[in-house]
Structures are given as structure tokens and as C-alpha cells.
Amino acid sequence: MPELPEVEVIARGLHLTIKGRTIVSVHAVDMTRLSESADTLVPMVLNQRIARVYRRAKVLLIEMESGLTMAFHLKMTGRVVHGPLRDAERHDRIFFVLDDGSLLSFSDMRKFGYVRSFGAGELESWEFLKRCGPEPLETPSAALAERVKGRKARIKALLLDQSVVVGVGNIYADESLFRAGIHPETRAHRLSLPRLERLFTELQGVLRQAIAENGSSIRDYVNADGDAGAFQNSFNVYGKKGELCTVCKTVLTAEKVAGRTSTFCTKCQPKGR
């Protein structure tokens, strides 16, 4: 489901609506494969007051005034939504009831997502985050280009590699490669430094635009208020195999690269360049 823009939109929305609220009760609806049992999570977060909500990589972080932090990874279909109290539904995982009577819910159809909690100061030692590369919107594109310069791997595989740069998934990898005019199978070492820089500049532009448009909703994504995003209406290539290129009207092609369906324009993104 969510790549960087979607998690960022959720985090910003939640920060506005739940900051300062206290968790008054927790309901474990379905904790199977959630990385943390209800027995340990519930007593830790109960009666904690929310200090801020933010994002690192594709992880949604809710930090309490005590320094305790809950980390949600939404994977493909996870949702974290704030709204009025309601009954549990099919894919709900955990409910957090807040002191104004509202509900913060975590649900996940495919159950790939998880929540973990960390005591004050423990987050930095989380292996997952330690393996993560820099934030694309807080790093100059020249510095990002340096990270892939000379690598023999396909450029798309490197964009998707969270140790190279975080937050990029299949949508924003395909969209930034299109904007930069680069074929997804191109080996990074075949690309000049200026072209790599251009790619990361385009990536930054796509991510910023997607955040401004409330993220991309393909099937499951909704923001913290339960609303869909709009950036899917601005896609040039993602999911558009067989449609015409918005620039040159060539029929868009799709093939597997780095194990993911990759859609591109053979004319705007010529092979071997």
C-alpha cells in the first residue's frame, strides 16, 4: 500500500488530530503475526499521552510524552485511521480509544503489516531502521546519485533498495524513471553522474507532488481521515500498460524488473541509455 508519500500524509494528518490525546483503552481485535503480543503492548501504551506523529522511511511513528514510541509498518494494505468509535470489522487488528472518545484503528487485509513499541531511546537501536538509507527529501540529489554511482545493479532495483534511499516503492520508482527518461533495466554504472542526479531530482519532485495530492490510492490506501488520495490521477506510467504515453503516444510496455512489474515507455525511456 503505502510508500513514502502515503505514510507522510497519514503522519501529518494524525499529528494534527491526535497530538495531546491520551490512550484510555486498547482493544486487541486480531494480534496474529503482529510482532508484538497484546500482553506487552497494551500495558505499555495505556494512559500514555501522544506527543507527536511522524514518519521515518515507510514507518509511521507515534511518540508518547514518555518517549515510548509505537512503530507501524503498513506493508501493502495496512491502514491507520482516526475517527469516531465504531464496532470492529473484518480486517481490524488493534483499536486505541482516546480520551475524547475517538478511535485510532489499525487494520490490514493481508496481515503483512505490524506494530512494535520501543521504550524511550530504544528506537535508534531498531535493526530495521539501522539498515535504512537516507531520506530522499532531506538529502541533496547529488548525494543520492553518489550512492548508486558505479553500481552494476539495475537502476530500478537500486531505487527500491531501502538501504540506498528510503521510501521508494514500485509506483514512485516507475514514475521517477519515466520523468528522467531512463529505462528501468539500465545498469547504474552506465548512467552519467548528471543523469543520476536528474533521476533523484525527478524522484524528489514526484514525492513532493504526491504528498501535496494526498498520496496515491490504487485499492486500499486512505489517509488518517479515511479519505483516498488523488495522485493516481497524475500517473504517467504506473499501472498503465497498453495505454498511450502521455508525451509521445507510444503504447506503454510492462515487464518484470527486480521482481516487480515495471511499466515504461520504450521511446521516452530507451534501453541502453
Which residues in this chain contact DNA in the complex, by CB under 7 A? 1-3, 6, 33, 57-58, 73, 75-76, 90-91, 109-112, 128, 131, 151-154, 157, 160, 162, 169-171, 187, 215-221, 239, 258-261
Q: 21, 56, 58, 179: which is the annotated catalytic residue?
A: 58
Nearer to DNA, 64 or 159 (CB): 159
* Spatial contact of 229 and 251, defined as CB atoms under 8 Å apart: no
Active-site residue flag, 260: yes
Phi-psi bin for 231: left (phi > 0), alpha (psi -120 to 50), beta? Answer: alpha
Query: Least distance (Å) from DNA to the CB of residue 233?
Result: 14
Active-site residue flag, 55: no
Active-site residue flag, 184: no
* Spatial contact of 175 and 208, defined as CB atoms under 8 Å apart: no
Nearer to DNA, 26 or 109 (CB): 109
Nearer to DNA, 21 or 116 (CB): 116
Active-site residue flag, 127: no
Query: Least distance (Å) from DNA to the CB of residue 128?
Result: 5
Query: In one letter, which amino acid is 194?
Result: P
* Spatial contact of 147 and 164, defined as CB atoms under 8 Å apart: yes
The bridge status of strand 253-257 relative to strand 114-118 is unpaired
Query: Least distance (Å) from DNA to the CB of residue 97?
Result: 25
* Spatial contact of 48 and 64, defined as CB atoms under 8 Å apart: yes
Query: Least distance (Å) from DNA to the CB of residue 191?
Result: 13
Cα distance between residue 67 and residue 24, in whole Å = 18
Nearer to DNA, 56 or 198 (CB): 56
Cα distance between residue 189 and residue 46, in whole Å = 51
Residues catalogued as catalytic: 2-3, 58, 260
